[in-house]
């Protein structure tokens, strides 16, 4: 286990705990983990995950600005939402189509950009699927949409197996913890709907 893996994991775990508790600090803490994980995933040829960290960086900055803009007296000032069936169908379609294109791209990335990605991507389909799902989940989470946690639960289950196979077992163990946090986060955010009223938008 490298120092990058260890330190990045600590910061990532802290950011997930903070987001489950609806704390603003989650965003700057998350940005640190994103940078460290981007370096790590590049080193082990999980290129989709590397690109994913760039997205996380932008999404974290967006989430930080969005939450801060709507923050008044406390972090909970931003209302929670749960999307209607039409929007959920849209997110599922985006996930499916995005995964197909990302998989094709990841299968050819070492041919398209050999100077940057010298080796073929590992597990391109699985890596692409979790990457696209994470893109969607991060966007939904920044807007405090409850269904974001369902996406994270699926990503965490896949991540447990994927990172164990890639022999980054500390991160695999992290995903076990993240799975537990995601389940708790889902029920915590869902219960908050009662405080603000269920909003289908």
Using one digit for the tens of pLDDT, what is the confidence trace for 111-142? 888 888 888 888 889 988 998 998 899 888 87
d(CA 102, CA 127): 9
Is pLDDT above 70 for 51? Answer: yes
What pTM value is reported for the model?
0.73
The secondary structure of the chain in percent helix, strand, coil, rounded to multiples of 5, reads 80, 0, 20
pLDDT at residue 76 greater than cutoff 80: no
Q: What is the pLDDT of residue 73?
A: 45
Higher pLDDT, 48 or 158: 158
Per the CB < 8 A criterion, the answer to whether 175 and 156 are in contact is yes
CA proximity to 126, closest of 19, 23, 47 = 47
Backbone angles phi, psi at 145, to 5 degrees: -95, 125
The residue ranges of every structural domain in the chain are 3-71+79-196
pLDDT tens readout for residues 153-174: 999 999 999 888 888 788 888 8
């Amino acid at each position: 286990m490298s120092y990058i893996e260890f330190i990045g994991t600590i910061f990532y775990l802290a950011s997930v705990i903070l987001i489950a508790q609806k704390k603003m600090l989650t965003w700057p803490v998350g940005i640190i983990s994103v940078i460290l994980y981007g370096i790590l995933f590049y080193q082990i040829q999980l290129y989709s995950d590397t690109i994913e960290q760039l997205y996380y960086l932008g999404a974290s900055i967006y989430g930080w600005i969005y939450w801060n803009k709507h923050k008044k007296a406390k972090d909970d000032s931003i209302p929670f939402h749960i999307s209607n069936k039409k929007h959920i169908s849209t997110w599922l379609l985006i996930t499916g189509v995005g995964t197909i294109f990302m998989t094709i791209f990841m299968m050819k990335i070492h041919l398209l950009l050999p100077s940057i990605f010298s080796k073929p991507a590992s597990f391109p389909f699985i890596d692409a699927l979790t990457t696209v799902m994470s893109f969607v989940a991060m966007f939904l989470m920044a807007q405090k949409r409850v269904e974001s946690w369902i996406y994270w639960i699926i990503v965490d289950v896949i991540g447990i197996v994927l990172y164990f196979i890639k022999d980054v077992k500390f991160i695999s163990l992290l995903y076990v913890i993240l799975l537990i946090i995601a389940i708790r986060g889902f029920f915590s955010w869902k219960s908050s709907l009662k405080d603000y009223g269920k909003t289908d938008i």
